[in-house]
Structure 1
Amino acid sequence: MKSYIKLVNFEINRFIKIYLTLLIITLLSQFIGVIVIAKSKMDQAHEVMGEQNLSEQAYLHDYGGFTFAHFASTLWFVGPIALCIIALLFYCLMIWYRDWFGKNTFAYRLLMLPTARISLYFSKASAILLFIIGLLAFQLIILPLENTLFESLIQDNFLQTSMDVSSILQSNVMLGIILPPYFSDFLISYGIGMMFVFVLFTSILFERSFRLKGIVFGILYIIAAVLLYLSPLFILSNETYSVLYSEEIFAIFLVLGILITAASIVIGNWLISKRVLV
């Protein structure tokens, strides 16, 4: 356990500078965006009122007021979130391949540590999970602050409604996926995400173990995992789905997810222990 914790800490330290940069970009982009969008909305409203000679009441009747949802759909808000997602997806690959960069010595040093090699596998997955949770927590912390700032910059008469965090999450499709408003949905979404992280890890180990042939094995493994997980959608007809309870459908996908995750870990353990040679 001590070796595993040290490995997790080691992986976190290797990415921490880039990670903090992502957080700073998110913070600056979203807060600057709140100011820009709020000012733009108010300027636009006053411009329309001046051009059409409308009172505030008439403008609000014709065009409606503003909410934080108007900002949450802009590139100022969505852009840094997309950047963080792309960076973490790229890091899922680099967390393995950077160990083989250069003269290949560092990967060998890791593999020769006096601990089970599966600890290396789990430490990398754990680091990614912690990074994801950290980004989500950071976004949840700054979201109400951004909402408060936005509402303070909008004149009271033009504020359509005051939104809480839950309302904001439900108003934006992308946010609803990344930050599900219900804990059960959160577990489902990120459980599926971690399942495919393990699938990706195992496919990478196929490539590291068999080189050119391993690329084919890895791609085939990803395709097989995706098809297996989605197989109920192909096998069960619409009529079958209609007679199944939502709990039963959930149980089917849960079992498949557990099987795929377990298979990925078992195969990954065999590859990193027996096939990736020092």
Structure 2
Amino acid sequence: MKSYIKLVNFEINRFIKIYVSLLVITLLSQFIGVIVTSSSFMNRAHEVMFEQNLSESGYLHKFGGIDFTDISSTLWFIGPIALCIVALIFYSFMIWYRDWFGKNTFAYRLLMLPTARISLYFSKASAILLFTFGLLAFQILILPLENTLFESLILENFLKTRMDVSVILQSNGILGIVIPPYFSDFLISYGIGMMFVFVLFTSILFERSFRLKGIVLGILYFIAAVLLFLSPLFAMANETVPDLYPEEIFALFLVLGILITGASIAIGNWLISKRVLV
């Protein structure tokens, strides 16, 4: 257990500078977006009111007000979220391959540690999970601050509605996917996400174990896992298959998710213990 914790800490330390940079970019971009978008709206509203000789009520009747969803749908807001997602997906590859860069000495040292090699597998997955949850927690933390800043910059009459964090998450499609408003949806979304991380790790280990042949095996394994998980959707599209209740569909996906995750971990354990060479 101590070796596993040390490996997780080691993986975190290797990515921490880039990770902090992602947090800073998210913070600056979103707060700047709130200020720029809010100020632009108010300036434009006053210009239109002056040019068309409209009162506040007249402007609102003709053009409408603004709420935080107008802020959260801008590139200022969505851009850094997309950047973080792409960075974590890319890092899910690099967390393995960078150990083989150079003369392979570092990968050799990791694999020769006096601990079960599966600890290395789980430590990398745990690092990805911690980075993901850290980004989510950071976004949840700054979201009410951004909302407060937004409401302070917009005159009250121009606010369509005041929104709390849960309403913002439900009203914005992308945010609702990244941060599901309900705990059950959160568990489902990130459970599926971690399943595919394990599938990806095992696919990478196929390549590390069998080289050129392993590339084909890894791609085939990944495609097979995706198709197997989505097979209930294909079956339900067939009119000859009887309709299932939502609870039955959920149970089916849950069983498939557990089976795919368990198989990925078992195969990954065999590959990293018996087949991976440096």
Q: Same fold (TM over 0.5)?
A: yes
Percent of pairs with identical residues? 82
Gap change, CA 1:131 and 1:241, over 3 Å in 2: farther
AA in 1 matched with 2:43: D
User: Per-residue displacement from partner, 1:199-250 (whole Å, max 9, x unpaired)?
Assistant: 0000000000000000000000010001000011112346578742211110
1:70 alignment counterpart: 70
Partner of 1:87: 87
Structure 2 Cα separation of the partners of residues 227 and 156 of structure 1:
51
Match runs of 1:29-68 below 5 Å: 29-68=29-68
2:129 — aligned with what?
Answer: 129
Stretch deviating more after TM superposition (234-243 or 156-165) = 234-243
Match of 2:101 in 1: 101
1:107-154 residue CA offsets vs partner (Å, 9 max, x unmatched): 000000000000000000000000000000000000000000000000
The residue identity in structure 1 corresponding to 2:173 is V
Q: Name the TM-score, length of structure 2 as normaliser.
A: 0.98
Is the deviation greater in 184-193 or in 62-71?
62-71
Residue 160 of structure 1: SS of its match in structure 2?
A: coil
Shift of 1:160: 1.4
Paired with 2:190 and 2:212, the residues of 1 have a C-alpha distance of 31
**Divergent runs of 4+, >3 A:** 237-243
Give the AA of the match of 2:263. Answer: A
2:168 equivalent to 1:168: yes
**1:69–1:104 Cα change, 3 Å:** same
Is the contact between residue 208 and residue 277 of structure 2 (CA under 8 Å) also seen in structure 1? no
What letter corresponds to residue 65 of structure 1 in structure 2? Answer: G
Distance 1:160 1:61 in 2: 11
TM-score, length-normalised on structure 1? Answer: 0.98
Q: AA paired with 2:52?
A: Q
Match of 1:244 in 2: 244
> Is 2:149 the partner of 1:149?
yes
How many residue pairs match? The answer is 278
Q: Distance in 1 between matches of 2:177 and 2:129?
A: 17
- 1:20 equivalent in structure 2: 20
Q: Is the contact between residue 33 and residue 76 of structure 2 (CA under 8 Å) also seen in structure 1?
A: yes
> Hey, what's the Cα distance between the residues in 2 that align with 1:159 and 1:106?
57
Deviations 1:24-68 (A, max 9, x none): 000011111111010001011112212221110011111111111
Task: Give the partner amino acid of 2:37.
Answer: I
2:227 is aligned with 1:227: yes
CA contact (8 A) 2:169 2:175 kept: yes
1:173-192 Cα shifts (integer Å, max 9, x gaps): 10010000000000000000
